[in-house]
Amino acid sequence: MDPMDRPVDPAHRRRRILRRGMIGVAVVAAGVTLIAVAIGWFRPSVRHDRIRLATVTHGEVTATLDATGLVAPEFEHVLTAPVSTRIARIHKTAGSEVQPGQVLVQLDDHGARLEVEKLDEQIALKQNARRRAELERDRTRADLQSRHEIKALELKSFLFEVDRNQQLFDMGLVMQDAVRKSETDVERATIELAHFETQLANAEADLAARLEGLELEMAILAKDREQAGERLARTAVASDRAGIVTWVVPSEGVTVAAGETVARVADLSTFRVNATLSDVLARRLAAGMPATVRSGDARLPGHVRKILPTVQNGVVTFEVALDSQDHAVLRPNLRVDVHVVTETRAAALRLERGPVLNVDGRDAVFVIRGERAVRTPITLGISNFEHYEIVEGLVAGDEVIISDMSDYRTVKEVQIR
C-alpha cells in the first residue's frame, strides 16, 4: 500500500476542523465588532466631559431687566468758578490725592478784588451819610425843642396875663377887651405849641425813616460785600474734603464763565452705579426695585434709587444704590452688569440658565436618560441671568445638558460616551 494512501489520524482531523472553526468564529466576531463600531460612528454621540449638566430643582426665580452700568463715586464734589475769569494756575492734576483745604486751581482774582474794593467804598459812603443824617436829626431835634420850650414859656406868660386881667376887670380897672385879648393870646400860644409838638414828632419820624433806609442799604451792601469776599476767597479753588481729583480744567490761561466746572473731587471710600436701559423696557422700571450688580464672580445687592426723567438716544439712565458701597471690587469707571428684579416666584421649578434649542417653534433641551440624552420640549416662564422657570416638560431631579447642543437640534436623542 502506498504510504500516501494511509488513512488520516482522527485526532489530526479533529484538530484541523477545530482550527478552521476557530478561524471562522474569529472572522465572524471581527465582523460583528466592525459593524458595532460602524454603528457607533454613525449614531450621534457626545463625550461626557464635553458637556455641562444641571439638575432641575425647586427654588426662587426672579424676572429681571438686564442693563449695563458704570461704577461712580457715591459723593463727587464739583468745584466751579465763582466769577467769569481765567485760569491763573493749576496746582493739582487728575489722579492727585487732596486733603481738605488744599488748592486745586488758582483763578485770576483781579476782577474779584476790584468788586470788593468798590463795595467797601460804597459802604464807607453810606456810613458817612448815616453820620450826617444823625447830626441833622440832632440839630433838628434841638431846634424844635428850643422853639417848643419858648412857646411853652409864652403860653405860661399868657396864662398869667389872663389871670391878672381877670382880677383887674373884677376890680373895674380894665375893660372886658383886655381880658378877651389875653384869652386869645393863650389860645394862639396853645395852638402853636401843639404845632411845634407835631413838627417835632414828624421830624423825628422822618429822620428815623431816613436812618432806617440807610441801615437797610448798608445791610444789603454788607451782604454783597460778604458774597464778594467769598467769591474772592474762592478764586483759590480748594477741596472741602479728602479725595481724588477725577477731573481738572485742562490748561492754564483759558477763560471760564461764572458757575463753570473747573475741577471734580471724588470720595473713593463709597460708590454707586449709574446704569442705562432701553426706553422700551424702562416702563417696567420703578424706583425702589431690588437690583443685583455683577462684576466677575462678585454679586452686589442694591436697589434702584432714582430714574432720570430724560431719554437720550432711546436710552434711560437710572441710579443704583448698593448695600455694600465700599466693596473691594468697586472702583471708578468699572463696567458692570445690572439686573433689576421686576417679579419673584418663591417656590418655582427652576433650571440653571444655559442655551435652549428651538425646535418647530418650541423650546427644548436634552435630558439625561441613562446613557442617552433625549430631546425634550419644555415651556419656560420668567427668567434671570442665573435661572429659568420651568412651567412644563421637566420634573425636579431631571439632569439637563446646559451647554450648547445646537449641532444636535435635528436629532431626538444623543448617545453619552
Is residue 37 in a domain? no
pTM, two decimal places:
0.54
Beta bridge partners of 210: none
Q: Assess whether 186 and 211 both reside in one domain.
A: yes
Quick one: cell of 64? 429681571
Is residue 165 in a domain? yes
- CATH code of residue 99: 2.40.50.100
In degrees and rounded to multiples of 5, residue 381 shows phi and psi of -110, -130
Is residue 41 in a domain? no
Contacts of the segment 306-312: beta carbons below 8 A, 24+ positions apart: 307/282, 311/279, 311/282
User: Do the Cβ atoms of 308 and 318 come closer than 8 Å?
Assistant: yes
| pLDDT for the residue numbered 393 | 93
Range of the domain at 212: 111-230
pLDDT tens, residue by residue, 135-151 = 887 787 777 777 777 77
Q: CA-CA distance, 270 to 73, in Å (whole number)?
A: 6
pLDDT tens, residue by residue, 47-91 = 888 899 999 999 999 888 999 999 998 888 889 888 888 988 898
Q: CA-CA distance, 289 to 321, in Å (whole number)?
A: 11
The residues near 196 (Cβ < 8 Å, ≥ 6 apart) are: 144, 147, 148, 151
Cα dihedral: 122, 124, 126, 130 (round 10): 180
Q: Assess whether 127 and 178 both reside in one domain.
A: yes
Q: Assess whether 58 and 128 both reside in one domain.
A: no
How many CB atoms neighbour CB 320 within 10 A?
25
Angle at which helices 176-234 and 110-170 pack, to 10 degrees?
170
Q: Assess whether 147 and 213 both reside in one domain.
A: yes
Query: Of 286, 311, 341, at which residue does a domain stop?
Result: 341
Which residues of the chain fall short of a pLDDT of 50? 1-3, 36-41
At 7 the three-state DSSP class reads: coil
Q: Assess whether 277 and 201 both reside in one domain.
A: no
Q: Assess whether 91 and 117 both reside in one domain.
A: no
By CB atoms closer than 10 A (0-12, 13-18, 19+), residue 342 is middle
Is residue 31 in a domain? no
How far is C-alpha 245 from the chain's CA centre?
Answer: 19
Query: Of 326, 341, 356, at which residue does a domain stop?
Result: 341
At 36 the three-state DSSP class reads: helix
Beta bridge partners of 57: 350
Quick one: cell of 322? 448698593
Query: Of 177, 212, 230, at which residue does a domain stop?
Result: 230
Counted domains in the chain: 4
Q: Assess whether 374 and 309 both reside in one domain.
A: no
Is residue 8 in a domain? no
DSSP of 290-349: EEEEEETTEEEEEEEEEEEEEEETTEEEEEEEESSTT-TT--TT-EEEEEEEEEEEEEEE
| pLDDT for the residue numbered 39 | 44
pLDDT tens, residue by residue, 277-296 = 998 888 889 999 999 999 99
Q: Assess whether 79 and 176 both reside in one domain.
A: no
Q: Assess whether 153 and 223 both reside in one domain.
A: yes
Is residue 226 in a domain? yes
Cα dist from 269 to 38, 265, 350, whole Å: 66, 12, 38
Is residue 23 in a domain? no
Q: CA-CA distance, 321 to 71, in Å (whole number)?
A: 11
Q: Assess whether 253 and 392 both reside in one domain.
A: no
- CATH code of residue 301: 2.40.30.170
Q: Assess whether 181 and 246 both reside in one domain.
A: no
- CATH code of residue 385: 2.40.420.20
User: Do the Cβ atoms of 57 and 399 come closer than 8 Å?
Assistant: no
Q: Assess whether 81 and 130 both reside in one domain.
A: no
- The DSSP output letter for 22 is H
Q: CA-CA distance, 25 to 31, in Å (whole number)?
A: 10
Is residue 311 in a domain? yes
Quick one: cell of 396? 425636579
